[in-house]
Amino acid sequence: MRLGTGHPTVIKVVDIINLSSSANTLLRNRVKMMRTSGIDNRIICMDGPYVRSLQEEGIPVETVHLPRGYNVLKLAFSLFQVAAYLRRENIDIVHTHCSIPGFIGRLAAWVVRVPVIIHTVHGFHFHERTATLKRHSYVLLERLAGLFVDALLSQNSDDMEEARWHRIVPPDRLHSIGNGIDLERFRPGMQLPPADGRVTITCVARLEAVKNHKMLFEAVRLLKERGERFKLWVIGDGELRLKYQLLCEGMEIDHLVHFLGYRDDIPELLAQTDIAVLTSIKEGVPRTVLEAMALGIPVVATRVKGTREVVQDGETGFTVQLGDSVGLAAKLSELMKDSALRAKMGRRGREIAVKRFDERAIVNSLRTIYLDLLSKKGIMRNAAIPKVVER
């Protein structure tokens, strides 16, 4: 039954995202906390290797086919699947993530009249370097999708301003939500100097064009030419893995670059890391940077939307201009040669992570938004109000 009728009932929330790995990385901990607080939080995603583990942790997961391309027939089938589930389960709130799941999920929720529809922007599809015509097309699509939402949540201030400037949603539907991580899982420990004398640099990012690994590989080539002693761990998987492996072979840096694939032991790998690096073209608020900071690791990253709000240049690490491989190599080299500087920046990063990026605060903020929107719809009268997640 819908909230507000009959006996007290539990709020039903469904998060819609593309990959099971993304659900595992971005939603698992947050959804578990929501469920502990009394909200029936579920996930819709594509079938994949992490569906079973999410279900085993007590999270209801519905699998549907969510194409990553723009095949009209496949998109229509996905829309039908999602809409059927939302209607059958009598869902109260749909919360979407990413581009295609975001559009399909919002439209499906609107079609079956889900009371509250929310979308989180993990970095708009357009960015500073997007060609003008493409940028206008993406803005129009975002405006269209914005017609279906009660709230648009932004992880960073740049996306907030973009949404306001392009009038993607009315101002009263735009909210800053930020991002956070499980600080208990990412705690600094004793880091021993590497046995082989080589500094470990780690990049945790999907192997996709937007993560801009080519810039990093070029910096690695420059560091190699200078005779620096280091190794690079590339953690993550994606459609460009083989291409990047061949690229590194061609650049004669394959002995320095180790492709570790998608990993579940990120805290353990980061505990063996001296410097974290991220060369993305755009971000929402990058969790990989937050996780490194929480473990007391300095970060070198591109000075782009999302990331520049997290990495404080000269304080918790360094930022460089997008495309500046020479500058990236220089900053990596500076940190590689100065363990005291790494430790100082790492301590400051940990302080900021604890103060600003605790995921429990995000859960409390989301819970407040959920309840406020349901209340505005006039359907909270008989709802069982969940307990706040304590910080």
At 194 the pLDDT is: 64
- Asked if 203 and 351 sit in the same domain, the reply is yes
Same-domain pairing of 213 and 106: no
pLDDT at 131: 72
Provide the CATH number for the domain around residue 159.
3.40.50.2000
Residues 23 and 38 in one domain: yes
Is there a domain that residue 234 lies in? yes
Q: What six digits make up the tokens of 244?
A: 């990047």
The first and second tokens of residue 92, run together, are 């109260």
Query: Which tens digit of pLDDT belongs to each residue from 309-361?
Result: 999 999 999 999 999 999 999 999 999 999 999 999 999 999 999 999 999 99
| Banded model confidence at residue 5, pLDDT cuts 50, 70, 90 | very low
Query: pLDDT band at 67, cuts 50/70/90?
Result: confident
What per-residue confidence (pLDDT) applies to 382? 47
Asked if the structure places residue 194 within a domain, the reply is: no
Enter the tokens of residue 365: 């903020």
Q: Are residues 242 and 124 in the same domain?
A: no
3-state secondary structure of 254: coil
Task: Return phi, psi of residue 259, to 5°.
Answer: -85, 110
Residue 275 CA to residue 219 CA, distance in Å, equals 14
Inform me whether the pLDDT recorded for 57 exceeds 60. Answer: yes
Q: What does residue 118 show for φ and ψ, rounded to 5 degrees?
A: -130, 145
Same domain? 26 vs 91: yes
How far CA 306 is from CA of 123, 282, 284, 332, 365, in Å, comes to 8, 7, 5, 21, 19
For strands 151-154 and 116-121, give the pairing.
parallel
Q: What three-state secondary structure class fits 336?
A: helix
Domain co-membership, 20 together with 115: yes
Look at residue 123 and tell me if it is in a domain. Answer: yes
Q: Please tell me whether residues 267 and 166 are part of one structural domain.
A: no
* pLDDT averaged over every residue in the chain: 91
Identify whether residues 368 and 287 lie together within a single domain: no
Residue 3 included in any domain: no
Please report the pLDDT score of residue 139 as a whole number: 84
3 pLDDT above the threshold of 50: no
Q: Where are the alpha helices (DSSP H) in the chain?
A: 20-22, 28-36, 51-56, 72-89, 99-111, 132-146, 157-165, 213-225, 241-250, 266-270, 287-294, 325-336, 339-356, 359-376
Please name the residues in contact with 52: beta carbons below 8 A apart, sequence gap of 6 or more. Answer: none
337 and 323, same structural domain? Answer: yes
Calculate what percentage of the chain has a pLDDT beyond 90. 80
pLDDT above 70 for 191: no
Q: What is the pLDDT of residue 6?
A: 44
pTM over 0.75, yes/no: yes
Structural domain includes residue 187: no
Which structural domain range is residue 157 located in? 12-180+358-376
Do the domain assignments include residue 16?
Answer: yes
Residues 76 and 113 in one domain: yes
* Residue 82 domain-assigned (yes or no): yes
**Under 8 Å between Cβ of 207 and 213:** yes
Residue type, 122: H
Please report whether residue 333 resides in a domain: yes
Residues 142 and 255 both lie in one domain:
no
Q: What's the structural domain count of the chain?
A: 2
What one-letter code names the amino acid at 67?
P
Whether residues 216 and 229 share a domain: the answer is yes
